[in-house]
Amino acid sequence: MSTTVDLISKGNLLVIGRLVDASNATLLAHVEDTDPKLQVIYKPVAGERPLWDFPDGDLASREYAAYLLSDLAGFDLVPLTLLREGPFGFGMVQQWIDVDESVDVVEFGQSSDEQLRKLALFDAIINNTDRKFGHLLIDSTGLLKGCDHGVCFHAEDKLRTVIWQFAGLPFNSNEISLLANVVAIDLVAVFANYLTAVEIDALQVRIKRLKAAAEFPLPSDAWPAVPWPPV
């Protein structure tokens, strides 16, 4: 029996729509010959808009790097994400998450939910420049996932997020363990094909800084701390 990884990595993708609110080409597709239909988000590199502050590499690779870090360190926050060829060329393919439409993501995103604490730590590590409420995916079981990680891992500190309610609080034991998991990863070996050497060096510095501080970072007064629009 084929696994979800096999199906998403090798199955034929049929594009069925586009997420029109996205600034880059973000396509809804399903894997053919699956029942029920296995839906995915497909972001071809050819559909990316050049960004002045991310001149190197591509956004798809950063999305994949975020998934790798989440997976290898045990955060389990990013939906299954792969890099592969698709109908419009090479790009990122991510498993679709069916969200609970009854959940108010703005209200949830300002709560003290433990999953948000974990996401706040994750974003601090990957230097997420665009964590909006709309990037919070809560399914019918209450499980939180995060999406849209194309503008992460910048070499300069650019953390912009709507999740600042934990700023300055000390890490709990679970968060310290997650950070230790990240420290144990051979970052150069894992990310050399997806991030620049300067970005990997900066990632290592952020991890060391977070470990030494043992608390959530504070918003900076040197750049906008909240993305706009926040949703």
pLDDT band at 35; cut points 50, 70, 90: confident
pLDDT band at 49; cut points 50, 70, 90: confident
Task: Evaluate whether 106 touches 187 at the Cβ level (below 8 Å).
Answer: no
- Report the pLDDT averaged over residues 49-69: 92
Q: What residues does 92 pair with on adjacent strands?
A: 43, 83
pLDDT of residue 41: 97
Is the predicted pLDDT of residue 90 greater than 80, yes or no? yes
Q: Over the chain, what is the mean pLDDT? A: 95
Domains in the chain (CATH in brackets) are 4-213 (1.10.510)
Is the predicted pLDDT of residue 1 greater than 70, yes or no? no
pLDDT of residue 186: 98
pLDDT of residue 211: 97
Residue 47: phi and psi, rounded to 5, are -100, 5
pLDDT of residue 223: 83
Strands 81-86 and 89-95: antiparallel
Query: What sign for the dihedral angle of Cα 50, 31, 20, 100?
Result: negative
Nearest-angstrom CA–CA distance, 204 and 99: 33
pLDDT of residue 10: 94
Residue tagged 């396509």 (tokens): 27
The 10s digit of each residue's pLDDT in 158-205 is: 999 999 999 999 999 999 999 999 999 999 999 999 999 999 999 999
